[in-house]
Amino acid sequence: MKQKSARILFGALIAMLVVVGTAVGGALEDAAAALTRGDYSVAMRILRPLADQGNAPAQGAVGLMFENGQGVPQDYAEALKWYRLAADQGLAAAQYSLGSIYREGRGVPQDDAEAVKWFRKAADQGSDFAQDELGDMYAEGRGVPRDYAEAAKWYRLPADQGMARAQNNLGAMYAEGRGVPQDFAEAVKWYRKAADQGVAIPQSNLGAMYADGQGVPQDDAEAAKWFRKAADQGYAVAQYNLGLAHANGRGVSYDFTEAVKWFHKAADQGDATAQYNLGSMYYNGPTISGIWSFFDWLYGLLGKGARQDHSEAAKWFRKAADQGYAAAQGNLGSMYYNGQGVPQNYVQAHMWSDLAASNSASDKEIHDNAVSARNLSASKLNPAQIAEAQRLAAEWKPKR
């Protein structure tokens, strides 16, 4: 958010040069140059007198420096004061920044309705960042009733201006049929516009469209190409999908080492699906003796001799389980029941099986296995221990 504020305020400073006259314009140009090279003390010395005189771009830039702690101690209340002064004069960049302050609750109580008010003021002046943010607020129902059609309307404006984030958002609306008729070809069009700008998330989304053959002919090689572009930028979803491609030999050569490498990269960033699959790999090792059912691709993968390590399996199952991943919770419960990779503990087994049952309503197989495992654990416990396990499950909260 700060980077976006910085870019549009720099733009506001430069744009005002042709309006405010030579003397002030030259000072603003010098301040913008100082900000760009990171010489914040010089920038503040130039900007503060102009801000005190009521110059809106200078006020907005001073607000930005207080928000970021650049050349001055970070002070959100001061940032808010200067942003409001500039915003009240109609400076779109400051209106956008003021909306961001209210949306995030920095220096003020978090207030989505106030954020929407200021985003709308900036959006109505053509601020692409504010238009995109207003789309988010409508899509999420923050400060306004949720309205996907209105969200799509606001996303389209900056998307038409070439903003990659808005293009990706609009592509997602078409892919999911939210606020617009579902149209995979239109989704692909917008994902591609954003992906061609080098942005990881739309690159990954475009890869998924090729993988599934939605809006384009199914093409595993093209899918892998786009997954790799996003994975190389560190996007966890794409890293997982690229690992899956190598595990299956889909669009790339089958390569166990590459599959594990990309799964680890995604898992290390907290991707629960990757964590779960790593746990599955370490649990099974070179033979198949799964706790519950696993993906078919894993069986071929394990034939290459994945190292069996129940302690490592439990570690990765726990990471996914802590995020609420039901299959991982069930597997971790089974490992506690059997004492595999963790000390045998029927209370923990009951707790994790109970959580898996609660979190798997949409997957009958996982749910039924979890209920059976919970009942099996209960047979090993006395009433007090069952009550303890139920208390632990009731108090559990997902970690993000």
Q: What pLDDT score does 24 carry?
A: 67
Q: What is the pTM of this model?
A: 0.81
Residue 365's CB is within 10 A of a number of other CB atoms, namely: 12
User: Does residue 347 have a pLDDT over 50?
Assistant: yes
Q: How far apart are CA 64 and CA 47, in angstroms?
A: 11
Residue type, 314: A
Look at residue 20 and tell me whether its pLDDT is greater than 60.
Answer: no
Angle at Cα 259 formed by Cα 253 and Cα 260, nearest 5°? Answer: 150
- The whole-angstrom separation of Cα 124 and Cα 13 is 20
Q: What is the CA radius of gyration of the chain?
A: 26
Instruction: Pick the closest to residue 241 from 227, 256, 229 (CA basis).
Output: 227
Token pair of 326, please?
């039901």
Mean pLDDT, to the nearest integer, of 158-185?
97
For residue 324, the 8-state DSSP code is T
Residue 387 forms part of a structural domain: yes
pLDDT over threshold 50, residue 22: no
The whole-angstrom separation of Cα 329 and Cα 113 is 39
Average pLDDT on 390-395 reads: 97
Candidate from 47-56, 193-202, 294-303 with smallest mean pLDDT: 294-303
Q: What is the pLDDT of residue 289?
A: 35
- Confirm whether 176 is domain-assigned: no
346 in any annotated domain = yes
What 8-state DSSP symbol labels residue 119? Answer: H
Whole-number Å distance between alpha carbons of 311 and 333: 14
* Residue 173 vs residue 3, higher pLDDT: 173
pLDDT-based confidence at residue 258 (cuts at 50, 70, 90): confident
Lowest average pLDDT, out of 25-39, 90-104, 175-189, 368-382, goes to 25-39
pLDDT above 50 for 129: yes
* 224-241 average pLDDT score: 98
Domain presence at residue 98:
no
Tokens of 376: 């099996």
Distance CA 83, CA 97 (A): 7
Distance in angstroms (rounded) separating the CA atoms of residues 90 and 336: 62
3-state per-residue secondary structure call for 7-40: HHHHHHHHHCHHHHCHHHHHHHHHHHHHHHCCCH
Count how many domains the chain has: 1
Tell me if 179 sits within 8 A of 156, measured CB to CB.
Answer: no
User: Is 126 within a domain?
Assistant: no
Q: Percentage of the chain with pLDDT > 70?
A: 88
207 contacts 227 by C-beta, under 8 angstroms: yes
Asked if residue 257 is part of any domain, the answer here is no
**How large is the average pLDDT for residues 330-347?**
97
- Amino acid 212: pLDDT: 97
Give the range of the structural domain holding residue 360, as residue numbers without chain letter: 270-400
**What mean pLDDT comes out for the span 128-140?**
96
Mean pLDDT (the chain) is: 89
**Contact predicate 102/115, CB 8 Å:** yes
Per-residue pLDDT at 79: 94
Per-residue pLDDT reduced to its tens digit, 278-295: 898 888 764 433 333 344
Closest CA to 241 of 216, 259, 257: 259
Longest dimension (CA), the chain: 85
Look at residue 305 in the predicted model and tell me its pLDDT.
39
The mean pLDDT value for 194-221 works out to 98
Contact 35, 43 (CB under 8 A): yes
CA distance linking residue 164 with residue 205, whole number of Å: 13
What is the model's pLDDT at position 130?
Answer: 96
pLDDT higher than threshold 80 for residue 6: no
Considering the domain boundaries, does residue 318 fall inside one? yes
Task: Please report, for the domain that includes residue 331, its CATH number.
Answer: 1.25.40.10
What is the DSSP track for 211-258?
A: HHTSSS---HHHHHHHHHHHHTTT-HHHHHHHHHHHHHTSSS---HHH
Banded pLDDT at 248 (limits 50, 70, 90): confident
pLDDT per residue over 84-127, tens digit each?
999 999 999 999 999 999 999 988 999 999 999 999 999 999 99
Mean pLDDT of 153-177: 97
8 pLDDT higher than 60: no
What pLDDT was estimated at residue 135? Answer: 98
Instruction: Give Cα 365 to chain centroid, integer Å.
Output: 29
Residue 400 resides in a domain: yes
What's residue 255's pLDDT?
83
pLDDT band at residue 18 using 50, 70 and 90 as cut-offs: very low
pLDDT recorded at residue 37: 87
Q: Is the pLDDT of residue 11 over 70?
A: no
Section 2-21 average pLDDT: 46
Task: Provide the H-helix boundaries in 69-163.
Answer: 76-88, 92-104, 112-124, 128-140, 148-160
**Gap between the Cα atoms of 335 and 339, Å rounded:** 6
- 361's CB contacts (< 8 A; 6+ apart) are 367
Query: First and final CA of the chain: distance in angstroms?
Result: 21
Q: How far apart are CA 282 and CA 94, in angstroms?
A: 52
The mean per-residue pLDDT over the stretch 251-265 comes to 88
Tell me which of 59 and 26 has the higher pLDDT: 59
